[in-house]
Structure 1
Amino acid sequence: MPIYTSEDQLLKRQYDFIIVGGGTAGNVLANRLSENANVSVLIIEAGTDTTENLSVQVPFLGVTLPGSDLDWKYTTVPQAGLDGRVIPFARGLGLGGSSAINLLTYNRGSDDIWNYWAKLTEDEGWSWSKIKKYYLKNHRVVPPADGRDTTGEIDPSIHGDGPLEVSAPGHILPIDDLVVQSSKQLGGRFKYNPDFNSGDCTGVGFMQSTVGSGKRSDSNTAYLQPAIFRPNLDILLNTQVTRLVQSSSSESGPTLTTVELGTQSDKSKRSQVTALKEVILSAGVVGTPQILQLSGVGDASALRSLNIEPVVDLPDVGAHLSDHPLVANYFQVSSEGTWDNVLRDGSILGANMGQWQTTRQGLFVNSPGNTQSYQRLPPDSPALDGITDPASGPLSAHTELIFVNGFAQFGAVKQPPTGNYLTILTGVMSPTSRGSITLTSNDPFASPSINPAILTTNFDIKAMVQAMNDAQTFLAAEPWQKEFKPVVFGELADAKTDADKAALARKASVTINHPSGTARMSPTKAKWGVVDSELRLKGAKGVRVVDASVFPVIPECHIQAAVYIVAERAADLIKTTYGL
């Protein structure tokens, strides 16, 4: 498999399939479609090869990747729900995409979310009973880095035998047992869940992460690298797709199988490659609607205002952007068993890095959090007043808590120079706020306008306040008070009322980087949506979309597993279409 770093190096200009984006979904498709030696595949990635990047490999260093050269470095427009703040909007740039820069959590979502997708799309192929095989095909459980017995932390019997490596935490932290003890003591909404991938995605339990042998497992290492020597698969790096070009037209719509390429280094130069069967857009929640709009697919009046000739009038392109908001809640603790000094003292950090490099053991084999908790709101929650429950069912959560054994910087607050801290990240998992991705110009190298509309509904702000209250309720349990003795810290200490917490949420919230929905699926004959339930672009031929933009509604969990599952099903749909 040749790896090209410039389009000038391409030896041919036609492929059966052209995949736009070498990220979480794109690499799955590249692997599965190129399994057939008679099928030619080109994958085009705007970034570079991440395979040897140490910061990608080391799970604990995942927090350093947003804002790096492996991030598109997008920012949002001023957020009305966040006191007008502009916040970062991290998206992976390079092979692996966001699976190479995320914080590694692997949640496939509840049975309810998949059944809800089936209902929304009127396609039983998305129901859990039909989707389960793709979940099993995608990943496998491997031992944690420390090799300990993980009975009760993860249930291997409900997992699969696929290429992506998934494990329980590989280095136990002092707070992990306190989380489990408190869960079992409190019960109810804080019940202990021995495996969030059981279909019930509520309760408290250990985080499962895309880590094998202490090292990140992403779509590049799990899917693309094993296919690297296939002669029918080409990879083109450092190249952006600037638009899709109409190659023909008929009464049923235009055919958009010609791909225009460009680079940041020479913005005036353009070239083309053509798909004989399909172009598959896997450019992500930002990139996919941007490319569609640049190609004349979107809201016709908005496109004309930017001097783009409409080809397909699809107002939903770029609409319905949804993301999970997050607030970092800080507590000072009496224990010295946190990892705060690792971040303060270069020699301690270096020692941990050295341990990872020589033995694949220690703190750095984990993402920063080992445990998480998903909660349903109390039935009498004011967040639910006057609205239909936005969660997909009783097995799906409204909110999340992530327990971090130190001061985790999310947002503008800096780590204090002394002291030991605990962070609980609170998030809203079933947000009702909806935003958009829209073009700012017809320049394909200009960043689009990104508006996730964070915390702009009554439900979202009140659900976040409930999560913040839940964090303090959980820490009031006897195991915490006996050992860590957490005390609210910083501005949280002054947030005495729900109104105070709502104000703090608006001041401090960021996103968990789980955007979705900007090219959402809908029933074939529905007037809304961007793609049909088999992910084919509505109103056109030759284009399919496969990434988180097609989610009809955001899952109530971390979303990377859902992207992998969608990509696995998409590969089968494509193979069936062409008898492969």
Structure 2
Amino acid sequence: MQVVSIDDFIHQSFDFLVIGGGTAGLAVASRLAQDGNFTVGVLEAGGTANGRDDVEIPGYLARSLGTELDWKFKTTPQARLGGRTVNWPRGKALGGSSAINFMTWMRGAREDYDAWEALGNPGWGWDKLLPYFKKSETFHPPSDSIREKEDLRYDLEAFGDSGPIHISYAKEYQPSNQLYFKALNSVGVPTNSAHFAGSNIGAWTNVNNIDPRTMTRSFATNYCALAGSNLHILTEAIVQDVVLDKIDDAYRASGVRFIYKGQEHVVSASREVILSAGSIKSPQILELSGIGNPEILARAGIDVKVDSPMVGENLQEHKAIHMVVEVDPELENRDDLFFDADRAAAARAQYDRDQTGPLARISSSYSFVPLATFMPQDTLERLYSQAKDLTGVSSEKKALMEQRLKDIDKIGQMEFIFALGAAPLAVTGKGFGTLFQILQYPFSVGSIHIQPTPSEKDDPVIDPRHYDGPHGEIDLEIMLESTRFGRKVLLAPSFNKIVRQLAYPPASLFTDDEDVKTWILDSTAVAYHPIGTCAMGGRAGIGGGVVDERLKVYGVKGLRVVDASIMPLHISAHIQATVYAIAEKGASMILEDAAKYSHR
């Protein structure tokens, strides 16, 4: 990996500077450097993550949360959540969140990306984005024996075969995997045989970004091998702002100001600055640079250079809750790795010996369920009527959000994941299983902005506005009905072989809808998929977003945003694979524009 010293970095002449060495940042920087004609610099706030057990070993997922690899963000107190703050982990290391996430690899529905294009962002629909999905990945098909045993179904043509990120099925599965699918089938959720090919409705065993040759996490640092000596990475560099030069009444990005070990430095980029700091840090850096809503900037004492009202707005996040059942205590589950020293030691010895066992696998039992499966018709009609009266979003975006309440059998409104284990409830002699329930298309929208007295070291103000106002009421109603459905799945007869009883929430809760809603509000967390804070504006332009369809920041030359923040509407999927596709497409567009400029 091309990590350099501060002296080497500040004395280098760069064509492109990338702010953020995370999922998107390393991908776009490496592709630009791979071209061979450009020198690329990357500024990363964290250190290196490669070689750490809590990063590389699949079974140790989540152990890096709350460590120095995590920004450890928190939201503002959320009124509808009883004043609770909510943890928002984000990766602070080379690889970014791809170094600390849960290694889930999937795509959204065709309709999700086509909606981006429908807003006036040509080239961002499913068909045009698919080649970039494939470009990022190398799929390793499972063995015939495991494919038949676990009934693994997929469309081989939908996968890539030569990208930097290695994806695979597990080599062994928990006994709950197939029982979970039988339970779903029994309540009207079919098995999906091509979940990667544009429709994720139904249930399936998912692939993960795990390299089957080593049984370790495959993440964004893999991209660096493409780049050669043209890529220069500086870690532990805290970006203050983008340097903007005023030329003929317009601004152009010429470099980046940053802090390294207490000293301020400025480096220049002759072609472009690319902001890939993620949905939380990218809008913060734009505002610190004088790009944003004049009211927000004035409150913070920052001179307005570009009046861009949507910077930091449009924050969307998947809401998550979980239900727990008591299961057969003889079943192996993740709690053993935390609370049973002998079993944990045996699992580690097995992994070190032949890369098998509990540490070599993660949960892969997924399903995406449309509204038609769990929502009463009269409730659907009422929610659609409420959605027609919503304010605060553009008419085009509102129409697309309303459509998601009409496409009741086409798109997965709710995700359900089942895994054995429930660490907070772990009790010696008992076993537990957890059903995670994740709302995919939130109607409530929040914001991320700088503090009133900001510095580059301050966390921004993160306010997702969970369940606030009429938008939030729609989310809460959907969560209520899906919680009822989740209970139905857990108590399905085909699950009786392992499930003993509902443990959390108690079964008595379900006698009163208001009690269930209160439990949802008390239990809601997030799925770590924030998007939208520097969104593509489409036909609405700067009044509807922050960047155009080529990811160029409105009102500034030589500055782009390439990360999850450019997504204008949320998708029905974990976002990791989509972020890589955004980076691949972004790099391709940057190289296209560079070639045009060079030939003038």
**Band the TM-score falls in, shorter-chain normalisation:** over 0.9
Distance 1:173 1:460 in 2: 32
**Paired residue for 1:455, among 467, 472, 478?**
467
Q: Matches of 2:405 and 2:586 in 1, distance apart? A: 25
The answer for the alignment partner of 2:53 in structure 1 is: 54
* Amino acid aligned to 2:500: P
Alpha carbons 2:254, 2:272 under 8 Å: kept: yes
Cα distance, 1:525 vs structure 2: 6.0
Within the alignment, does 1:197 sit opposite 2:196 as a pair? Answer: yes
Query: Distance between the aligned counterparts of 1:494 and 1:238, measured in 2?
Result: 51
Asked whether the 8 Å contact 2:121–2:549 carries over to 1, the reply is: yes
The answer to whether 1:372 aligns with 2:366 is yes
SS of 2:317's equivalent in the other structure is coil
Could you tell me how far apart the structure 1 residues matched to 2:268 and 2:48 are?
24
Pick closer, same or farther for the CA change 1:145–1:280 going to 2, 3 Å.
farther
Q: 2:339 maps to what in 1?
A: 344
Can you list the C-alpha shifts for 1:265-305, whole angstroms capped at 9, x where unaligned?
A: 41xx3110011110000000111001000000111122112
Write the deviation string for residues 396-425 of structure 1: whole angstroms up to 9, x where unpaired: 211111101121x4xxx4433441111101
Higher mean C-alpha displacement, 278-287 vs 486-495: 486-495
Does structure 1 retain, via aligned residues, the 8 Å contact 2:65–2:89?
A: yes
Q: Is the 8 A contact 1:318 1:436 kept in 2?
A: yes
Distance in 2 of aligned mates of 1:154 and 1:212: 18
- How is 1:374-413 mapped onto 2 (pairs within 5 angstroms)? 374-378=368-372, 380=377, 382=379, 384-386=383-385, 387=387, 388-390=402-404, 394-407=409-422, 409=423, 413=424
Q: Structure 2: which amino acid aligns with 1:449?
A: V
> CA separation of 1:55/1:485 partners in 2, compared to 1, >3 Å: closer, same or farther?
closer
Letter in 1 for 2:246: S
Q: Which residue of the other structure, out of 317, 320, 324, is the alignment partner of 1:326? A: 320
Contact 1:24 1:563 in 2 (8 A): yes
Deviation (angstroms), 1:524? 6.0
Aligned counterpart, 1:565: 581
The letter for the 2-side match of 1:218 is: F
1:58-457 superposed matches below 5 A: 58-120=57-119, 122-143=120-141, 148-149=146-147, 152-161=152-161, 162-187=163-188, 190-213=189-212, 214-221=215-222, 223-224=223-224, 226-227=225-226, 230-251=228-249, 253-263=250-260, 265-266=261-262, 269-334=263-328, 336-339=330-333, 340-367=335-362, 369-378=363-372, 380=377, 382=379, 384-386=383-385, 387=387, 388-390=402-404, 394-407=409-422, 409=423, 413-440=424-451, 441-456=453-468, 457=472
Write the letter of the residue equivalent to 2:274: I
Q: Aligned match of 2:523 in 508, 512, 522?
A: 508
Contact 1:422 1:486 in 2 (8 A): no
CA distance in 1: counterparts of 2:24 and 2:406, whole angstroms:
24
Work out whether residues 199 and 395 of structure 1, in 8 Å CA contact, stay in contact via their aligned partners in 2. no
Distance 1:547 1:147, change over 3 A: farther
CA displacement at 1:484 relative to structure 2: 1.5
Aligned residues: 563
How big is the shift at 1:365? 1.7
* Unaligned 5+ runs, structure 1: none
Q: How many angstroms apart in 1 are the aligned matches of 2:456 and 2:492?
A: 53
Aligned twin of 2:392: none
The CA distance in 2 between the partners of 1:422 and 1:414, in whole Å, is: 10
| TM-score for the superposition, normalised by structure 1 | 0.93
Q: 1:29 to 1:480 in 2, by over 3 A?
A: same
Q: Report percent identity of matched pairs.
A: 29
Contact 2:243–2:256 at 8 Å: present in 1 too?
Answer: yes
Are 1:553 and 2:569 matched, yes or no? yes
Distance 1:84 1:389 in 2: 32
State whether structure 2 residue 471 is matched by structure 1 residue 475: no
Letter in 1 for 2:531: S
Which secondary structure state, in structure 2, belongs to the residue aligned with residue 321 of structure 1?
coil
What are structure 2's unaligned runs of at least 5 residues?
A: 388-401
Distance 1:381 1:284 in 2: 39
3-state SS in 1 of match to 2:62: helix
Q: Which amino acid aligns with 1:548?
A: A
Change (3 A) 1:321 1:499: same
Q: Distance in 2 between matches of 1:352 and 1:453?
A: 42
Alpha-carbon distance in 2 for matches of 1:146, 1:86 = 47
Match status 1:28 vs 2:27: yes
CA shift for structure 1 position 391:
6.2
Partners of 2:350 and 2:371 in 1: CA distance: 42
Q: Is the 8 A contact 2:17 2:255 kept in 1?
A: no
Q: Give the 3 Å change call, closer, same or farther, for CA 334–304 of structure 1 in structure 2.
A: same
Distance 1:146 1:492 in 2: 42
Native 8 Å contact 1:165 1:211 kept in 2 = yes
Q: For 1:145 and 1:9, locate their aligned partners in 2 and report how far apart those are by CA, in whole Å.
A: 47
Residue aligned with 1:564, SS:
helix
Partners of 1:145 and 1:212 within 8 A in 2: no
Deviation string 1:122-141 (CA, Å, 9 cap, x unpaired) is: 13311111111111111121
Moved more, 290-299 or 331-340: 331-340
Paired residue type of 2:254: T
Amino acid at match of 1:174: P
Alignment of 1:484 with 2:498, yes or no, is: yes
Following superposition, the deviation at residue 57 of structure 1 comes to 0.5
C-alpha distance in 2 between matches for 1:486 and 1:466: 23
Q: In structure 2, how many angstroms separate the alpha carbons of the residues matched to 1:39 and 1:184?
A: 53
Cα contact 2:329–2:429 (8 A) shared by 1:
no
Query: Could you report, residue by residue, the CA deviation over 1:172-202 in whole angstroms, capped at 9, with x for unpaired residues?
Result: 1010110222233333xx1111232121111
Give the drift of 1:76.
Answer: 0.8
Q: Quote the Cα distance in structure 1 between the aligned partners of 2:270 and 2:405.
A: 41
SS across alignment from 2:557: coil
**Is the 8 Å Cα contact of residues 290 and 302 (structure 2) preserved in structure 1?**
yes
In structure 2, what is the Cα distance between the partners aligned to 1:381 and 1:41? 56
Richer in helix (by share) = 2
State the TM-score, normalized to the length of structure 2.
0.90
| C-alpha contact (below 8 Å) 2:121/2:548 kept by paired residues | no
Q: Which amino acid aligns with 2:347?
A: N
